[in-house]
Structure 1
Amino acid sequence: MASREPSWWDKQGDLIMRRPFNEWTFTHMNWLMPTERVARGATHLPLRADNRPLPVRYTFSGHEHTLAELHRRTFTTAFVVLHRGVIVHETYPGAFTGPRTRMQLFSLSKSVTSILVGIALDEGLIGSEKDQITDYRPDFLGTAYEGNTIAELLDMTTGVGDLETWEVPDSGIKRFEQTIMGGGDIADVVRAATRTAPAGERFNYSTFDTQMLGWVLEAATGQSLASYASTRLWQKLGCDRDAYYWLTRGRPRTAIGGGSLNATARDVARIGLLMAGDGVAGGEQIVSRDWVRRSRGNDKPQLAVGSLGPSGYDHYGYANQWWTLGSEHSGAFTGLGVHGQYLYVYPDAEVVIVKCSAWPTQDDARRDAETVAALRSVADHLARTR
């Protein structure tokens, strides 16, 4: 069969993510894709606000910068800072953003999926992290995922799949994206992934792993990702607005557990408060303290800060679908999404920071390092505040 030239339809993902369009698309994904609502509850728990300027300067690459410069240099669209549960600074530099705007969170969604798995384990709906994937999804028997455990999905050590790179046209992640946008069953793309390392030996950042995790969760709970997130998380957090997952265009339509959650920056901050507070929100233990502590890091050498290899930047480690920053950052950890989405949690200082962005590219090592330096400076400044 003769090959065809890529069409506009094949390149939708590239167009959606290109500046300056992405400032609009990242806040209007429900205009572009099918969606499923994550309903908030009848009880709203407002976040107390004491919004004020933050006279913080940070040093990056030998130069001092202000937060205004950070926002300009890293295309910030929303920036919300909480200290001791209070919004102390909030700004929306994005052209289409505000407190009620729902942001495309990309892979920050992975950290939410992890919380939901922790809740399902607490409820006994998932038996154990040591359970095999195929205990819940027997249709993956005979694929590279046969024999892998839920724990390996959580730490991205399955050994399945290639290096996740957006620049290679025929990479697994690009085929995944094109199938999401253009139709077809993404399960077929995931089933085609090959084993590239023994299970448990090395870290390989993988949206496929989190997609499997979301499918395991749905099979175990008998609910869609959006439905379970609503009853077990969104309603209990007293969120401002409904969130939503966008779904694949092809049928069976499915949420992307590793990248399709959209929510307001304030509601993302509520997730950070949950993690900073050892899994407690509104006086209720939503997810176990042990699960939250697991997300702050572990003793696996292949997941230590600086040891992730080509799948991660040197200043990160990994644990439980969260990026860890180690003792140099006093145990802070963060959820991350491409194009500059951050949920930075510094439990010891009771600081939570949400930064949404519209970078020109999916990944940018320099902008990431600058952002981490700035967030650390904000956290340190607040830690000194009494």
Structure 2
Amino acid sequence: MTSTTEPAVARAAERPSWWERQSDLIMRRPLNEWTFTHMNWLMPTERVAGGPDHRPLPAATVPLDLTYRFDDRDHSVEDLHRRTFTTAFVVLHHGRIVHESYPGAFAGPRTRMQLFSLSKSVTSMLIGIALADGAIGSVKDLITDYRPEFAGTAYDGVTLADLLDMSSGVGGLETWDGADSRIRDFERAALSGGDLGAIIRSTPRTAAIGAQFNYSTFDAQVLGWVLEAATGRTLAAYASQRLWRRIGAERDAYYGLSRSRPRTAISAGAFNATARDLARLGLLMAHEGRFDGEPIVPGDWARRSRGADLPHLSVGALGPSGYDHYGYSNQWWTLGESSFQAFTGLGVHGQYLFVDPAADVVIVKCSAWPTEDDPDRDRETITALRRISDHLA
């Protein structure tokens, strides 16, 4: 005889657990405005310590009394914040804070923001520093030179340059929808204790190495693991010594770690820092790797991030995994050719580190979009940031 409780038990067994559902819950409005500023309450972390020399950014505030044109209408900066769920907004011109606001309910100058895939651009900066340090020999080195466990996988034969330009040929279109989404599997594994390495090593090859752009969190995560192997230090420890201490950061940053042991930094998407300190990284990239005149990131590395001479990475040529107003280079999204050299780091839910070297403008915009990706909000944001840069220049 079948117990009447069996169907209920079966349904309960099929229902996702809290650990399996938490990534969906914490990423949606209105809760995400809180979670994006309190990720250290939700996952293991490792501190990126600053040094004793805290150097506040000088301020020379000016009103941003301008409008930008989008969808045949003029909008103000306040409209941008309302329409795109801004939580933190910092604008630098010539190294000075000219505008700063925190529309987010839980945001402020000391609030550390979850930067998601903007973390990839930070990893790129660290790779450039490691090359200058001699810890990494060349971007032409193979992944397997540093991480032999990738021998025999789809990443066998892939160079660091291929990873930096998201051209490894491994994996398909990165989408957050569908039951077979590998990036969802990666996210859930990070939050619930799964094997991140196994997920990445099992990803198949879908294109020739170096032939086409395919946005890949896995490529960026492997870069982080290469960096740790090359330097013999955790990502947070290396970032602290070689980057964070040297820019006079106002507050310690941190990396989110996987729940599985041994814990590993989510280098592709879990760096957390204040908006002001993120703006300092933008200054480095705008000033060819220098901060207060001190070389920190190699100048040629900063210039490499403005654009590549590869047709499949040019603006408008990225294909289905990139919007048509972007190109890509060195873990940064590029925005123009030759005369317009602005570029930006991006993170899901609306995180931006916009750098315009010609205008000497850096803009940080953190947000809490309702969804991971939003083509309309992205296009509006880039339109507004370019308008602000033109206005200041």
In angstroms, what is the RMSD of aligned CA positions? 1.2
- Which amino acid is 1:178 matched to? R
Q: 1:165 aligns with which of 172, 175, 192?
A: 175
**Preserved CA contact (<8 Å) 1:305 1:326:** yes
**Preserved CA contact (<8 Å) 2:170 2:206:** yes
Partner of 2:260: 250
Partner of 2:7: none
Q: Deviations over 1:266-303 (max 9, x none)?
A: 00000000000000012211011110110000110000
Q: Give the deviation of 1:171 after TM superposition.
A: 1.2
Partner of 1:34: 44
Runs (4+) of structure 1 exceeding 3 A deviation are 2-5
**Residue 112 in 1 paired to residue 122 in 2?**
yes
**Residue 338 in 1 paired to residue 348 in 2?**
yes
**Residue 135 in 1 paired to residue 145 in 2?**
yes
Range with bigger deviation, 245-254 or 356-365:
245-254
Q: Give the deviation of 1:168 after TM superposition.
A: 1.8
Partner of 1:148: 158
Q: Deviations over 1:90-146 (max 9, x none)?
A: 000000000000000000000000000000011111011111000100011111101
Partner of 1:87: 97
Change in Cα spacing, 1:338 to 1:248, as seen in structure 2 (3 Å) is same
- Which amino acid is 2:31 matched to? F
Partner of 1:288: 298
Give the whole-Å Cα distance in 2 for the aligned partners of 1:324 and 1:13. 29
**Residue 179 in 1 paired to residue 189 in 2?**
yes
Query: Matched residue pairs, number?
Result: 382
Give the whole-Å Cα distance in 2 for the aligned partners of 1:101 and 1:342. 16
**Preserved CA contact (<8 Å) 1:185 1:252:** no
- Which amino acid is 2:287 matched to? G
Partner of 1:359: 369
SS in 2 for 1:250: coil
**Residue 302 in 1 paired to residue 303 in 2?**
no
SS in 2 for 1:349: coil
Q: Deviations over 1:126-173 (max 9, x none)?
A: 011111000100011111101100000000000001211001222110
**Preserved CA contact (<8 Å) 2:163 2:223:** yes
Give the whole-Å Cα distance in 2 for the aligned partners of 1:29 and 1:200. 35
**Residue 209 in 1 paired to residue 219 in 2?**
yes
SS in 1 for 2:358: helix
SS in 2 for 1:336: strand
Partner of 1:123: 133
Partner of 1:43: 53
Partner of 1:232: 242
- Which amino acid is 2:49 matched to? A
**Preserved CA contact (<8 Å) 1:329 1:376:** no
SS in 2 for 1:327: coil
**Preserved CA contact (<8 Å) 1:338 1:363:** yes
Q: Deviations over 1:308-367 (max 9, x none)?
A: 001100000000000000139811000000000000000001000000000000000000
Give the whole-Å Cα distance in 2 for the aligned partners of 1:215 and 1:58. 41
Partner of 1:21: 31
Give the whole-Å Cα distance in 1 for the aligned partners of 2:344 and 2:30. 26
Give the whole-Å Cα distance in 2 for the aligned partners of 1:146 and 1:292. 28
- Which amino acid is 2:107 matched to? T
Partner of 1:318: 328
Change in Cα spacing, 1:20 to 1:329, as seen in structure 2 (3 Å) is farther
Q: Deviations over 1:224-271 (max 9, x none)?
A: 000000011100000000000010111121111110000000000000
TM-score by length of 2: 0.96
Q: 1:96 aligns with which of 99, 106, 111?
A: 106
Change in Cα spacing, 1:329 to 1:32, as seen in structure 2 (3 Å) is farther
**Preserved CA contact (<8 Å) 2:188 2:194:** no
Q: 2:75 aligns with which of 59, 62, 65?
A: 65
Q: Give the deviation of 1:56 after TM superposition.
A: 1.4
- Which amino acid is 2:50 matched to? R
Partner of 2:279: 269
Q: Deviations over 1:54-97 (max 9, x none)?
A: 10100001110000000000000000000000000000000000
TM-score by length of 1: 0.97
Give the whole-Å Cα distance in 2 for the aligned partners of 1:5 and 1:77. 33
**Preserved CA contact (<8 Å) 2:80 2:384:** yes
Q: Deviations over 1:203-229 (max 9, x none)?
A: 000000000000000000000000000
Partner of 2:378: 368
- Which amino acid is 1:247 matched to? L
**Preserved CA contact (<8 Å) 1:236 1:282:** no
The structure with the largest alpha-carbon Rg is 2
Q: Unpaired runs of 5+ in structure 1?
A: none
Q: Give the deviation of 1:182 after TM superposition.
A: 1.0
Partner of 2:63: 53
Give the whole-Å Cα distance in 2 for the aligned partners of 1:287 and 1:76. 29
Change in Cα spacing, 1:97 to 1:329, as seen in structure 2 (3 Å) is farther
Give the whole-Å Cα distance in 2 for the aligned partners of 1:283 and 1:325. 26
Q: Give the deviation of 1:8 after TM superposition.
A: 2.8
Give the whole-Å Cα distance in 1 for the aligned partners of 2:288 and 2:222. 26
Q: Unpaired runs of 5+ in structure 2?
A: 1-9
SS in 2 for 1:196: coil
